[in-house]
Amino acid sequence: MRKIIITALTLLSVAASHAQLRITDNNPKSKLHMAEMAITNLYVDSVDENKLVEDAIRGMLEKLDPHSTYSTAKEVKAMSESLEGSFEGIGVQFNMMEDTLVVIQTVTKGPSEKVGIIPGDRIVAVNDTAIAGVKMSKEEIMRRLRGPKGTKAHLKIVRPGIKDQLPFTVVRDKIPVFSIDASYVIKPGIGYIRLNNFGATTYDEFMTALGKLQEKGIDRLIIDLQDNGGGYLQAAVMVVNELLSKGDMIVYTEGLKAPRHEYHADGGKQPFTGRLAVLVNEFSASASEILSGAIQDQDRGIIVGRRSFGKGLVQRPIEFADGSMIRLTISHYYTPSGRCIQKPYTKGGQKDYAKDIDNRLKNGELTSADSIHFADSLRFQTLREHRTVYGGGGIMPDYFVPLDTTRYTLFHRQLSAKSAIINANLKYIDANRKKLKKQYATFEDFNANYEVPQSFVDAVIAKGAEVNVKPKDDEELQTTLPYLRTQLKALVARDLWDLTEYFQVMNETNDIVQKAVSLLDEK
């Protein structure tokens, strides 16, 4: 049929280039197919047929809900790495100091650590191609460092204090990507676990972290889902399974063409039965809301923070031969009490949907619980204590913690956005790493005694001035300094140790975390 249509179109175009061409087949699928062929074969200029088709797919999906999307093969690969729990490369965390790659950390037992690469090293060439001083993009540098497991990356490294370049050959390997940012005893008897997503390795990571905390004597647990945008539904179900009693419903899904499917707890392998607090904010979405909704509806623990994002739609991946993918919404998910917590949207109204968080801030919802209103038709009850909860747009916490807009000033936000803080920190840690490591043998010693020097703060302010970021007055500067000092201390802790130490510092000023600690500490 395709050959016949193309032949007909071609003959008509040659015989009567200005005549009207009429296609009589009224089938929607044929209509789309013929339109693409007509453009490809008759259009006045050359066209990219692949891009035409991709644009058509995006155009169709944009008329649906905000979470049905099309991703190119490259985008699919990037998404998969964070959720599948690994990628293949040399195993370094790095940042760019001006136009030079500086190693911040090497992955423990990873390929770079094994050959002797250390924090502070500058990688200046990969496989005889210079990557320093050539204005190469960070994405291009990452492409050169990554590669299939077993392949070799021949690196040239400049190490402070050593005159000549050092050659290293690194055999690329699987590099883990972790779901857990931090896990530690936040107060005697209270454990803290922060999850950044729900991926293929989340359950195993969670159980390992929980086991270590229980060995330290914790009988209460904080699960921090702030800023966790979700991931795999099954990963969330597996974590919740270890927190509920056997038979308890976790979540169910249902759609027009997708029959109802229920997920129930089976008792778990090593269930945690202690008191529980789950932390959410306006960026906690999807799988995070499955976990927090189940805990709330089953009266298993307390939810602390601010109303979550409100993504109650389930997507099914549809893969194409070239590696690209459609993620098509096929059903809603519902919490155990029957709540659909998808926030309202208009089909095709992605722009308005994307402004929801900004609107919450403008309407005062993020700073006052009194600004949040739910219709009576969205009222539900929890399953054991029969407390009132609401559907129709995210998980409303049991204990609301307002956003402190005075602490994180506009000046601070601009310093962050323009990379002044990160760039100043990179120079500071590069110049002081050895001295700090020698001075502070343990994080506990560092946390108790380290104070951010004024010269470090001055360097941040100076970096800001270089990109025309300045405080509007001295009052804004003085308001900015306490939280800025905390952030700088946390960044130094991260670079000397890891993200767990970063969050140990930051959580001391995190109002949601501190509220949860105080609630779990009550007898």
Residues classed as catalytic? 286, 311, 315
Q: How many CA atoms lie within 13 A of 406 on its CB side?
A: 5
Is 367 within 8 Å of 401 (Cβ atoms)?
A: no
Between CA 107 and CA 147 the distance in angstroms is 16
Residue 381 pairs in a beta bridge with 388
* Cβ neighbours around 6 below 10 Å, total: 16
- List the structure tokens of 358: 């900004």
Residue 155, classified by CB atoms within 10 Å of its CB into exposed (0-12), middle (13-18) or buried (19+), is buried
What residues contact residue 138 under an 8 Å CB cut-off, 6+ apart? 96
CA distances from 21 to 10, 12, 197, 347, 371 (A): 11, 8, 52, 33, 58
The 3-state secondary structure of 105-137 reads: EECCCCHHHHHCCCCCCEEEEECCEECCCCCCC
What residues contact residue 293 under an 8 Å CB cut-off, 6+ apart? 251, 335, 336, 339, 341, 395
